């Protein structure tokens, strides 16, 4: 059983942990708020872009774009994995890691893995899945221009016929305490990405230049915004997971401090009682 000195050391150490986890919780909460703001600010643009693509596609007959064509001869596919660079975020990376293993087990495709963040990359290396390429940014949260560079590189490989499909694996933000690990196909784009609307809703529109040329410029932008939205989701999910993990760690530290303090007080009380008993026994022996 630990003595009072050992318990004091453990109590001091746990209090330091409590301070650290409390501070990290506050930092993650602030970052989560910022990430939520970025998502809220970007969604109107993304929604309007998709709406414009649907309207333009309704005016074009037999339209074809290189992002819509299937590459049946290509023998490999790319998965862009978005994970965190740091730990202490609960099951954020482990859950995405399991989702990727499930994808690989249930598919006959030959995958190449590209990474944003290093945690899932290191987990996959342990089971013999190598990294084809890793992207790094000036800051933890990439800008839209940095994401466009990635999107253009992946699209170029698809257009050249080097890969059959391009996917993105990420944790989709649901709330501060919940996220879902998802794998979304980026290329080739499906018909659902450019779902047509009724001609009656677009009869008052005049397009300049033509609707086909508008689609030629907007469809690549849809790819950019899709990847960027997924990354924003992943960033928000990471901060939410870390905030929740630090909140749990803070509560556990608080409970441990109470338990250790109670144990130390009991030992101190037992020691005092023992000393008093010895004093009284000694006094009685002198009087007898």
For residue 270, give both structure tokens. 């037992």
Q: Answer yes or no: is pLDDT of 199 > 70.
A: no
For the chain, give the secondary structure using H, E and C.
CCCHHHHHHHHHHHHHHHHHHHHHHHHHHHHHHHHHHHHHHHHHHHHHHHHHHHHHHCCCCCCCCCCCCCCCCCCCEEEEEECCCCCCCCCHHHHHHHHHHHHHHHCCCCEEEEEECCHHHHHHHHCCCCCCEEECCCCCCCCHHHHHHHHHHHHHHHHCCCCCCEEEEEEEEEECCEEEEEEEEEECCCHHHHCCCCHHHCCCCCCCCCHHHHHHHHHHHHHHHHHHHHHHHHHHHHHHHHHHHHHHHHHHHHHHHHHHHHHHHHHHHHHHHHHHHHHHHHHHHHHC
What would the mean pLDDT of 235-247 be, rounded to a whole number? 95
| pLDDT band at residue 208 using 50, 70 and 90 as cut-offs | confident
pLDDT at residue 81, rounded to an integer? 97
| pLDDT band at residue 54 using 50, 70 and 90 as cut-offs | confident
Rounded Cα–Cα distance for residues 198 and 57 (Å): 10
pLDDT tens across 94-139, in order?
999 999 999 999 988 999 999 999 999 999 999 999 999 999 988 7
How far, CA to CA in Å, does 183 sit from each of 101, 162, 247, 266?
Answer: 11, 20, 29, 54
The angle formed by the CA atoms of residues 118, 120 and 121, to the nearest 5 degrees, is 60
| pLDDT band at residue 284 using 50, 70 and 90 as cut-offs | confident
Q: Answer yes or no: is pLDDT of 40 > 80.
A: yes
| pLDDT band at residue 194 using 50, 70 and 90 as cut-offs | very low
Nearest to 195 by CA among 55, 14, 6, 22: 55
Rounded Cα–Cα distance for residues 184 and 170 (Å): 8
| pLDDT band at residue 36 using 50, 70 and 90 as cut-offs | very high
pLDDT at residue 124, rounded to an integer? 95
Q: Which residue has the higher pLDDT, 192 or 245?
A: 245
Rounded Cα–Cα distance for residues 261 and 276 (Å): 22
State the fold for domain 25-244: Pyruvate Kinase; Chain: A, domain 1 (3.40.1380)
Q: Which residue has the higher pLDDT, 183 or 75?
A: 183
Rounded Cα–Cα distance for residues 226 and 194 (Å): 13
C-beta separation of 161 from 74 below 8 A:
yes
What would the mean pLDDT of 230-251 be, rounded to a whole number? 95
| pLDDT band at residue 193 using 50, 70 and 90 as cut-offs | very low
> Percent of the chain having pLDDT more than 70?
92
Among 158-162, 235-239, 283-287, the range scoring the smallest mean pLDDT is 283-287
């Amino acid at each position: 059983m630990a003595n009072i000195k050992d318990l004091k050391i453990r109590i001091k150490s746990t209090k330091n942990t409590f301070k650290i986890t409390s501070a990290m919780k506050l930092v993650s909460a602030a970052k989560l708020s910022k990430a939520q703001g970025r998502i809220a600010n970007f969604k109107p643009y993304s929604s309007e872009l998709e709406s414009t693509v649907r309207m333009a596609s309704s005016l074009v007959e037999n339209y074809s774009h290189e992002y819509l064509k299937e590459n049946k001869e290509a023998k490999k596919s790319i998965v862009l994995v978005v994970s965190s660079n740091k730990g202490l975020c609960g099951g954020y990376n482990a859950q995405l890691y399991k989702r990727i293993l499930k994808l690989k087990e249930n598919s006959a495709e030959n995958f190449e893995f590209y990474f944003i963040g290093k945690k899932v990359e290191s987990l996959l290396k342990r089971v013999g899945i190598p990294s084809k390429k890793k992207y790094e940014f000036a800051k933890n949260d990439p800008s839209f221009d940095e994401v466009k560079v990635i999107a253009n590189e992946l699209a170029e490989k698809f257009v050249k016929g080097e890969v059959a499909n391009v996917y993105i694996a990420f944790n989709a933000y649901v709330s501060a305490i919940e996220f879902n690990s998802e794998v979304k196909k980026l290329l080739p784009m499906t018909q659902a990405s450019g779902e047509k609307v009724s001609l009656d809703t677009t009869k008052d529109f005049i397009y300049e230049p033509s609707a086909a040329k508008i689609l030629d410029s907007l469809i690549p932008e849809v790819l950019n915004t899709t990847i960027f939205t997924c990354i924003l989701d992943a960033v928000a999910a990471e901060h939410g997971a870390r905030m929740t993990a630090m909140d749990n760690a803070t509560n556990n530290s608080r409970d441990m401090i109470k338990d250790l303090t109670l144990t130390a007080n009991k030992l101190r009380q037992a020691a005092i009682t023992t000393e008093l008993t010895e004093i009284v026994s000694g006094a009685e022996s002198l009087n007898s």
